[in-house]
Amino acid sequence: MATLKPVDTFDLLIFGGAGDLSLRKLLPALYHRDGAGQLPTGSRILAIGRNEMSQEAFVSLVEDTLRARLKGLDADRWARFAERLSYLSLDAEDSASWDPLCEQLAGFEDRLRAIYLATPPHLFGAIAQGFKARALITGNMRIVLEKPVGHDEASARRINDEVGACFEENQIYRIDHYLGKETVQNLLALRFGNSLFEPLWRREVIDHVQITVAEDLGVGNRVDYYDGIGALRDMVQNHLLQLLCLVAMEPPSSLDDDAVRDEKLKVLRALQPMTASEARSQTVRAQYQSGAVEGTVVPGYIDELGRGSSTETFVALKVGVENWRWSGIPFYLRTGKRMARKLSEIVIQFKPVPHAIFDASYDTLPNQLLIQLQPDEGMKLTIMAKRPGPEGFSLIPVNLDLSFEEAFGGAYPDAYERLLIEVLRGNPALFMRRDEIETAWQWTDTLLASWEDNQQRVDRYVAGSWGPASAALLLDRDGRSWHTGS
Ligand code: BG6
């Protein structure tokens, strides 16, 4: 087994430290890693926020949040974790408010210093500059940028320039939390740890690929932020394109920091640009109306927002990867809020056998590889088998079924646990490089501009469904259907 870099004693500074992401994801992730013995003694976690809050109030806020999320806390583990926590109020744009932070950091220049920016992206540059201006950037330092890095290519470039003026590219860790998911990393294991699939992973054998990331939740209390952002920017530009990249990329020469990212970048560059006419025929935008999800009545997007809006909460599209391996093979992507249930899956649909030797009255279904990302992580390969018995050749599809829960047992650490440890270890391979983010925005911007040109319609779908009829039609026109809930 490869030896893993150890985690050195660190100071982790979380900007937006009392915010939603920090309380829901980052602090629980750190608590778990602490429980697993991965956080060295003496390491400190400094939460930084704009609001004034006493140390006691912050620690008890974290305790209450963890207790509610984890349904109870181990007293010793919590006491050890609480020791590490402190809270500082700081307004990045107010120079005087930096002083307490400078005092906290003085004398700790030799230890690993990591800063996590869980703030709105327009503050990324000001915070990075704040560190530079006060000579707080040490030789052993990393900066983590939470998504979204910008809302289009120009703003992403601006942020990258501003942060890049203070930190080297190899110190900048841009998060896409999907890359920290165990099952997403398993895609690499599937493709490059087995000799079985790679020779088949090409246009001659594969008919098409489907990627679905469906959520049952609505936008909830993020509705004001979400409106004007929409599903294309929120999910497709990052998570779905990253999944597409991992499916479509060429084998990297190693798992080194840049080898995988170089290959992903080539896929992003090969994505078919969505001109106005392509956008019209190959993409669907939609918004949920009231309905029922898993038996509970839920309001529509407009009711939650309290005003009219044409922001999409659902996107389905067909895109090509224009290279030798994938030319002519459609990739169908679909994501939405308030769909029938939470489900992320990738379907690799193989072509039919080239010549039928069995009685035409028996359906020979093409093989299918289903990669289930969440929940119920696993893989299913559908193959044709002969139904037992003396009655000629009656073929039926059977599944070679691997449930990760049965094979490996239990639940996996949250993606943020893995990613925070990678930051502390200094391993940027699972993070997005500047060129990847900007190229993904470039493609997204073209589609957004085409929607604008087309005045593209926003269809409606009932909450709790699998999306609008137009999404089913997108595949129907090609003689195909979505794997789940067409
Ligand atoms: C975030 C999006 O990046 O991913 C959210 O901003 C979305 O809108 C979330 O709900 C989904 O993540 P997961 O891990 O629950 O699939």
Q: Which of the listed residues 151, 174, 197 is the one where a domain comes to its end?
A: 174
Distance 175 CA to ligand 1 centre (A): 12
| Per-residue tokens: 397 | 């599809």
Residue 399 lies in a domain: yes
- Catalytic site positions: 239
Kindly state the percentage of the chain with pLDDT values over 90. Answer: 84
Span 63-88, average pLDDT: 93
Asked whether 345 lines ligand 1 (CB < 6 A), one says no
Which of 97-101, 255-259, 411-415, 480-484 shows the lowest per-residue confidence on average (mean pLDDT)? 411-415
Whether residue 57 sits in one domain with residue 154: yes
Residue 463 or residue 405, greater confidence:
463
Asked whether 176 lines ligand 1 (CB < 6 A), one says no
Q: How confident is the model at residue 138 (pLDDT cuts 50, 70, 90)?
A: very high
Distance 104 CA to ligand 1 centre (A): 34
The pLDDT tens digits of the residues spanning 103-115 come to: 999 999 999 999 9
Q: Ligand 1, atom 4: nearest CA belongs to which residue?
A: 235
Round to whole Å and give the CA distance between 126 and 347. Answer: 43
Query: The domain spanning residue 152 has which CATH number?
Result: 3.40.50.720
Whether residue 257 sits in one domain with residue 161: no
Whether residue 220 sits in one domain with residue 137: no
Round to whole Å and give the CA distance between 445 and 156. Answer: 12
| Per-residue tokens: 161 | 């320039």
Straight-line distance from the first to the last Cα atom of the chain, in angstroms, rounded to the nearest whole number: 43
Asked whether 215 lines ligand 1 (CB < 6 A), one says yes
Domain with 260, as residue range(s), is 179-412+433-476
Asked whether 227 lines ligand 1 (CB < 6 A), one says no
Residue 137 lies in a domain: yes
Residue 1: its pLDDT value, please? 45
Cα 281 to Cα 120, 274, 277, 296, 470: the distances in Å are 34, 10, 6, 34, 10
Asked whether 234 lines ligand 1 (CB < 6 A), one says yes
Cα 142 to Cα 16, 163, 343: the distances in Å are 17, 11, 34
Asked whether 216 lines ligand 1 (CB < 6 A), one says no
Whether residue 166 sits in one domain with residue 187: no
E strands, 169-295, are 172-174, 206-214, 283-289, 291-293
Q: Ligand 1, atom 13: nearest CA belongs to which residue?
A: 178
Span 143-164, average pLDDT: 97
Q: Ligand 1, atom 2: nearest CA belongs to which residue?
A: 234
Residue 402: its pLDDT value, please? 85
Whether residue 206 sits in one domain with residue 146: no
Q: Ligand 1, atom 15: nearest CA belongs to which residue?
A: 215
The pLDDT tens digits of the residues spanning 3-12 come to: 677 899 999 9
Query: The domain spanning residue 253 has which CATH number?
Result: 3.30.360.10
The pLDDT tens digits of the residues spanning 358-368 come to: 876 667 889 99
Round to whole Å and give the CA distance between 230 and 235. Answer: 8
Q: How confident is the model at residue 126 (pLDDT cuts 50, 70, 90)?
A: very high
Whether residue 439 sits in one domain with residue 395: yes
Atom of ligand 1 nearest to the CA of 219: 8
Residue 403: its pLDDT value, please? 84
Q: Ligand 1, atom 10: nearest CA belongs to which residue?
A: 215
Round to whole Å and give the CA distance between 43 and 40. Answer: 6
Residue 362: its pLDDT value, please? 65
Which of 9-23, 191-205, 361-375 shows the lowest per-residue confidence on average (mean pLDDT)? 361-375
Whether residue 267 sits in one domain with residue 372: yes
pLDDT at residue 2 tops 60: no
Round to whole Å and give the CA distance between 428 and 434. Answer: 12
List, in sequence order, every residue forming a beta bridge with 402; answer none if it has no partner.
379
Distance 343 CA to ligand 1 centre (A): 12
Q: Which of the listed residues 117, 142, 174 is the one where a domain comes to its end?
A: 174
Residue 425 lies in a domain: no
Residue 483 lies in a domain: no
Round to whole Å and give the CA distance between 270 and 434. Answer: 17
Residue 459: its pLDDT value, please? 98
Span 253-275, average pLDDT: 95
E strands, 78-228, are 85-89, 112-117, 141-145, 172-174, 206-214
Chain centroid offset of residue 36 CA: 24
pLDDT at residue 197 tops 50: yes
The pLDDT tens digits of the residues spanning 29-62 come to: 999 999 999 999 999 999 999 999 999 999 999 9
The tally of CA atoms less than 13 A away on the side-chain side of residue 12 is 25
Residue 357 or residue 18, greater confidence:
18
| Per-residue tokens: 12 | 């982790």
Q: How much is the pTM? A: 0.95
Report the number of distinct structural domains present in the chain. Answer: 2
